[in-house]
Amino acid sequence: MKVFYSDDYTAAKYDFDTTRKARAIAEDLRGHALAGLELAVPRSVTSGELCQVHDKAYVDAVRTGHPRSMAGSQGFEWDEGVWRMACATTGGVVDAALTALNDGISGTLSSGIHHARYDRGSGFCTFNGLALACAEARKRVNRVLIIDLDAHCGGGTSSLIHDMPGVYQFDISTCQFDAYDDSEHGELHIVQGAIEYLSILQRGLARLEERDGFGLALYNAGMDPYNNGPEGDAITEDVLRERDAMVFQWCRNREIPLAFTLAGGYTGYRLGLADVVRLHRITIEAAVRSTIDGRRSR
Ligand SMILES: [Zn+2]
């Protein structure tokens, strides 16, 4: 299984979890290797490719740094590394999607970058990798499913897939940030605790089976739902493990190619960087297991 990573993922000077943790996860994967996993360097996307889903003036602003208000609209102070980071992380999502179409499964250590909109960044997301991956994948398959299980809503992606027939977003979040209305292109569920989280996922996946066959699933696997919910019903590490197993198994059983992105997951209250790495490894290990199980069942 190819998992995409480049040191350019961390090229922005702006220093916080989203711009740094991919390197720590890559180092952890090199130090504690998973059999069958290969780290691969993605191709950075070009301005022309980005303009399939983004405004050229915005793309130019991120490339040049001017105007600053636009170049830093995602929440970073601009430096030339922001452009390199944004093109590499977006390229990682696109390459994971296209590789999954060939190999059945792939992923990237970047996030899906789901808050970015047509003409601006948002919520530390510069370019929307999920939307661009959909645009590229639709040249080869008719229907693409986005499963967005980051704690925050994928409103940026929702705004960008409206004119992409065949793309559907299934979104479960634990907070209101970047919320959007349900439409023929997707559904958003905001949940309060672990029981609701897993049951909505289970029912949602069952309902999605009634739709025409998806040729690709993009799974935005945020770890930031961790610890959300009231005591006794909080979303624990075990709940997230169960969540990921459900998603990978659902796709594998239906032979839907799957590309995962890592999304949110933050240091802070009681969580150090090693904890965040451990949480993200849950998704990567579920992906590896899915390839092994898939081989066994053939
Ligand atoms: Zn998030």
CATH number at residue 286: 3.40.800.20
Total Cβ atoms within 10 A of residue 138: 18
- Can you give the residue range of the structural domain that contains 291? 2-297
Reported confidence tier of residue 294, pLDDT bands at 50, 70, 90: low
Interval between CA 207 and ligand 1 midpoint (Å): 25
pLDDT at 148 over 90: yes
Region 75-99: mean pLDDT is: 96
Interval between CA 133 and ligand 1 midpoint (Å): 19
Reported confidence tier of residue 133, pLDDT bands at 50, 70, 90: very high
pLDDT at 100 over 60: yes
Give the model confidence (pLDDT) of 57-74 as tens digits.
Answer: 999 999 999 999 999 999
List the single range of 93-97, 116-120, 265-269, 293-297 with lowest mean pLDDT. 293-297
pLDDT at 295 over 80: no
Q: Is 143 left (phi over 0), alpha (psi -120 to 50) or beta?
A: beta
Question: Locate tokens 């050229």: which residue?
Answer: 56
Interval between CA 187 and ligand 1 midpoint (Å): 17
- Angstrom distance (rounded) from CA 132 to CA 53: 6
Helix (H, G, I), strand (E, B) or coil at 148: strand
- In this prediction the pTM is 0.96
Interval between CA 296 and ligand 1 midpoint (Å): 34
pLDDT at 298 over 60: no
Burial class (CB in 10 A: 0-12, 13-18, 19+), 263: buried
Q: How many domains does the chain have?
A: 1
Helix (H, G, I), strand (E, B) or coil at 239: helix
Interval between CA 267 and ligand 1 midpoint (Å): 12
